[in-house]
Amino acid sequence: MAQITTHPPRKTLLIVYHSATGGTRQMAEAAAEAARGQEGVAVRLLRAPEAGPDDLLAADGYLFAAPENLAAIAGVMKDFFDRCYYPVLERLNGRPYAVMVCAGSDGGNAQRQIERIATGWRLKQVAPTIIVCTHAQTPERILAAKTIGAPDLARCAELGEGLAAGLGAGVF
């Protein structure tokens, strides 16, 4: 008689990001790479223009990564939330999420904006927001390609790994 092997259902972590100068992309990639090491979790890393309501509905948890521009989330990331907000409203309730922000000086307003959107979706924040400050304050430095340091990338990786581990273990 053949043995039947059952596998626990695979969970999906969706990481949505926008990055014009590379900083947020590096953060999202570090989180995704670490998350991919967790058993039972598929990781999807999507740029904000490519992500939509169906991607949100197909995922079990989320990591939103955005730059802060002019004391707000970047317009491309805001467009993602605008396009997706109503189509998924009342359909994501209770799912876990976390946030990462790449900022020139503060990042707090972008953090608050994303957290308010997630509150409207009734998502459950499962980790403190990570804000990486690049200290870019001149037009040249703001527009320049960013390099995120190893300690900050390690924090991003830890967040991605923890979020995926919690999904895989059924903790959230």
Domains of the chain (ranges, CATH numbers): 11-169 (3.40.50.360)
Q: Which amino acid is at 88?
A: V
> What pTM, to 2 d.p., does this model score?
0.94
C-alpha–C-alpha distance, residues 89 and 53, integer Å: 10
Query: Across residues 20-39, what is the average pLDDT?
Result: 97
Q: Which residue is associated with the tokens 């304050």?
A: 137
100-125 as b/e, with b when 16 or more CB fall inside 10 Å?
Answer: bbbbbeebeebbebbbebbeebebee
Lowest pLDDT segment from 6-15, 40-49, 159-168: 6-15
Query: Across residues 60-85, what is the average pLDDT?
Result: 97
**pLDDT, position 3:** 62
**pLDDT, position 8:** 59
Q: Which residue is associated with the tokens 């581990």?
A: 165
pLDDT tens digits along 114-138: 999 999 999 999 999 999 999 999 9
- Note whether 7 and 42 are within 8 A (CB): no
Q: Which residues pair with 48 in a beta bridge?
A: none
Q: What angle do helix axes 75-88 and 108-120 make, rounded to 10 degrees?
A: 10
Q: Which two tokens stand for residue 103?
A: 């900022």
